[in-house]
Amino acid sequence: MTRILLVEDDDYLASALVLALERKKYLVDLAKTGAQALESIFSDRYDAVLLDLGLPVIDGIEILDELRKSNEELPVIIITARDRVEDKIKGLDKGASDYLVKPFDFGELEARLRAALRKSNFKNSTQMKFASLSLDTNNGQLKLANESMELTPKEVVVLKTLMTRAGKVVSKRQLMDQIPDWLIESSENAVEIVVHRLRKKLEASEVNINTVRGFGYILELRQQ
Ligand code: CA
């Protein structure tokens, strides 16, 4: 199943698009605000995002900006009424995969979506390794010696950072900096929760995330 996040505040257009996409067998989640969009992006896994730029409070460009800080691969197609050239350039500069100006033909949107998905499937996965752990940072697949599981985007960011500096202490502040600040209400707590979940997932492996009191965390081989 291909999962699409549609970010659109116009009810009429949103329901028409959801219907048309579902008819094409896509699994669609709808976000009507920037906050909802970011919450979904950072807690769920999507194959592509269709992003309206003109949203209340948090603009589509800001969403794209936050998204690209932690995920360079997710295809994002901007759909917007803004036909000004500078908006188009800004969107592409911020890492949009494609750009469609409203009103557009659904057939064209779908063709561009297919093209963006094809391109992203062709990209090589990014594998990181530490001891028996192997993490694919593109799709969040974590392989231990004998099992394989899927991590949430936040877990990927935290584990990736710890793996990059395996054997060295990483502070909570450094981990917090990897996840968009304002998404997290009590940041230190949020880091602790993610680390707690990762520890559970690493239980069957020879690797553990140890706490270095007053400093942060360290990814290292379990003491025998
Ligand atoms: Ca709008």
CA of 218 to the centre of ligand 1 (A): 44
Whether residues 148 and 185 fall in one domain = yes
Last residue of a domain, one of 99, 123, 147: 123
106-111 own/partner pairs: CB under 8 Å, 24+ apart: 106/17, 106/20, 109/17, 109/50, 109/77, 109/79, 110/20, 110/21, 110/24
> CB of 124 within 8 A of CB of 136?
no
Whether residues 132 and 116 fall in one domain = no
Is residue 74 over pLDDT 60? yes
4-46 per-position pLDDT tens digit: 999 999 999 999 999 999 999 899 999 999 999 999 998 888 9
> Per the structure, how many domains does the chain have?
2
CA of 29 to the centre of ligand 1 (A): 16
- C-beta atoms surrounding 119 within 10 Å: 13
> CB of 32 within 8 A of CB of 60?
no
Whether residues 191 and 148 fall in one domain = yes
Residue 42's domain comprises 3-123
132-145 per-position pLDDT tens digit: 999 988 889 999 98
CA of 14 to the centre of ligand 1 (A): 10
Residue 54: CATH number of its domain: 3.40.50.2300
CA of 54 to the centre of ligand 1 (A): 4
CA Rg value for the chain: 19
Whether residues 31 and 103 fall in one domain = yes
Q: Which residue has the higher pLDDT, 211 or 182?
A: 211
Is residue 224 over pLDDT 80? no
Give, to the nearest 10 degrees, the angle between helix 60-70 and helix 34-43: 20
CA of 150 to the centre of ligand 1 (A): 33
- C-beta atoms surrounding 140 within 10 Å: 19
